[in-house]
Structure formats: C-alpha cells, structure tokens
Amino acid sequence: MPNHTSLPASTRSAPAKPRAHRTGIWSGPVPILTAAVLWGTTGTASSLAPSAAPAAAIGSAGLALGGLLLFLSTRSARSLLRRCGRGERWLLLLGAVAVAGYPIGFYPAVARTGVAVATVIALGSAPVFAGLLAWLTTRARPTSRWAGATVLAVIGCTVLVLGPELVGGTAPMDVTGVALAALAGLSYAAYSLIGGKLIARGHPSGAVMGAMFGVAALLVLPVLLGSGTQWLVTLRGAAVAAHLAVVTTFVAYRLFGYGLRHTAAQTATTLTLAEPAVAAVLGVVVLGEHLPAVSWCGLAVLAVGLAFLAVPPGARRRTR
C-alpha cells in the first residue's frame, strides 16, 4: 500500500490506513521485482508466435484472456464492482481504460520504432509520469532517494536496451511511434497509481486488479477480433497466448497488486524497470542474441539503481 503522503487530503486522517509506513523488502519490492521478471519473458514469448499474428493482436490476446482469468478467479472483484461507491467505480473504469491503453500504445510503437526504442520510452517514462501524477493529484512531492534511484535506473535501462544502436548507429526516429510508446508509459503509470489508491482505501489487491483487468479485457476484445484470430488456433499461437495470459498477466499482476499494498506506485514503476534487463538476458540465453559491452554496463547501472530503491534504508543500516 502506498505511503499515506500519496493519498488525497480527504483520506489522510482516516484511521484504517496505518499499515503502510514501514515495509520489508519481501512484502513490497520482491513481489514487484518478481512480476517484472515474468513481464520480461513477454518479448521472448511473443517472438515465438506465428509470423501472421499482428503485434497488437498478440498483446490484446494476452490481456483479454488474462484479464478475464483475473476477474473470474477473484470473487471479491465481482463484489467490489457492486459495493464500491460511484467515485470508486469511476476510478476503476479509468484504471481499466489505462490498462487497455498500454498494449494498444506499446505494440504499435514496437512495430514503428522497434522493441528497443519502444521499451526504453514506455518503461523509462512510466516512473517519471508516476511521480508527476502523484505530485499533481496528491501533492506528494517525490523523495530525493526515489529521484536518485529512478535517474540511475532510467539511464541504465536506456544504455542497456539501446546499446546495439549506440554502437552501430541509429535510424531516424518515428515521431508517431515515440508518442505511442510515451502513451503506453503514461497508461502504465496511471493504472498503477489508481490501483494503489484503491488498495490504500482498504480494498483487497486481488479485487482491485481483477476488476480493472476484467473490464480492460472487454475493452480490448474489439482490437483482438478486428486484428484476426486465425493465429490463435495454431499450437504455437495458443501456447504464446496462454503464456501471456497466465504468466505475464494473471500471475504477474497478482504479485504486482500485492506489492502495491506495501509500495508507493512511483517506487513500483521504477522497480519494474527490471523487465528490460530480464528481456535482454533472455534474448542472449534463449534467442542467441548478442549484447555489446556498453549494454552490460547499462545492466550494472540499472541493477545498482534498483537495489538502492528496493532495500529499505533501515535494512542497509542494520547490515553495516
């Protein structure tokens, strides 16, 4: 659950919110980092899909199937939609729109700019958007520790993913692709903040994630059906869709929602910059890709930033 400073002024004095002041690494950062590891398998899995599968359809299939699985397997998600107030229903709907906006923005951005550029812009911009949105909506000024760790992580992520282009030269940038990737980053930051706010109000994390992703699954169904579903009936297509639905959506967002109970959304979006690191390592190990030395240096910088943010200050003092 986010810190009390990230809540609206009207809820800061509520007596039911005292449990998020101090959390250990296992209750907040570890579930979020584990979710990022699972998300890091997305690129490798989607590369194994049939060549006829459109990029937007692959992402929409994972969200549609995984989102419905999250909703149907969580009884409290259905009751949450019935019992929450009008204001919270609007928050859930806004969160669902943001969830649906991520694949709709990210996968077309990949098609226009490539995986590397789209990943850097989407995931690198998300922590910045999360910090700005939290500042604008709750007056929660970002801490210097978060800012320093985020700068390190974003720099490391950029050098890691763009290492091959930095060494071999870059092609002209596609402005539309950049805008779509930034939209994906904004969507991710928005639904992380909305989910964190609803969880902070006492709603179960599984219910919040299940409700947002269940509605989002319905929102992306037209994209999936309009893009064509023939690839889903093949063995490879079904296997890829099942992996994206079960592993990178159902399991990963269960963990992410649990982590949001104990971690501010600004911190969570920075921690999930571990995703491109996992994707890069899998590309080397599974797909036989090669990373230049500069990318490995970026991986080291990213690891330092994430470690600085993940380990609580008290834990660092106790180990000295």
Query: How many CB atoms within 10 Å of residue 296?
Result: 14
Work out the number of other CB atoms within 10 angstroms of the CB of residue 287: 11
Is residue 309 within 8 Å of residue 145, measured between CB atoms? Answer: yes
* pLDDT bracket for residue 7 (50, 70, 90): very low
What sign for the dihedral angle of Cα 278, 155, 209, 33? positive
Given the structure tokens 């092609």, which residue do they identify? 171
* Rounded alpha-carbon distances, angstroms, from residue 112 to 120, 181, 184, 252: 14, 10, 14, 27
Q: Are 113 and 177 in contact (CB under 8 A)?
A: yes
Number of residues that make up the chain: 320
CA 92 to mean position of chain CA atoms: 17
Least confident range of 102-106, 176-180, 315-319: 315-319
Confidence band of 310 (pLDDT split at 50, 70, 90)? low
In the DSSP assignment, the letter for residue 173 is P
Is residue 64's pLDDT more than 70?
Answer: yes
Which token pair is 31? 């579930």
CA distance 309 to 318: 16
- pTM listed for this prediction: 0.74
User: Which residue, among 254, 256, 258, 229, has the nearest Cα to 241 in the 3D structure?
Assistant: 229
Q: What is the pLDDT of residues 69-96, one digit of tens each?
A: 999 988 888 888 878 888 888 999 999 9
What is the pLDDT confidence band of residue 11, given thresholds at 50, 70 and 90? very low
What is the average per-residue pLDDT within 232-246?
Answer: 93
Among 62-66, 161-165, 170-174, 223-227, the range scoring the smallest mean pLDDT is 170-174
Quick one: average pLDDT of 174-199? 88
Mean pLDDT of 204-221: 92
Query: Per-residue pLDDT for 320 more than 60?
Result: no
Residue 59 has pLDDT above 90, yes or no: no
Q: What is the per-residue pLDDT across 149-173, written as a single tens digit (0 to 9) for each?
A: 778 878 877 787 777 666 665 555 6
The pLDDT tens digits of the residues spanning 116-133 come to 677 777 877 888 888 888
Residues contacting residue 144 through CB under 8 Å, at least 6 positions apart: none
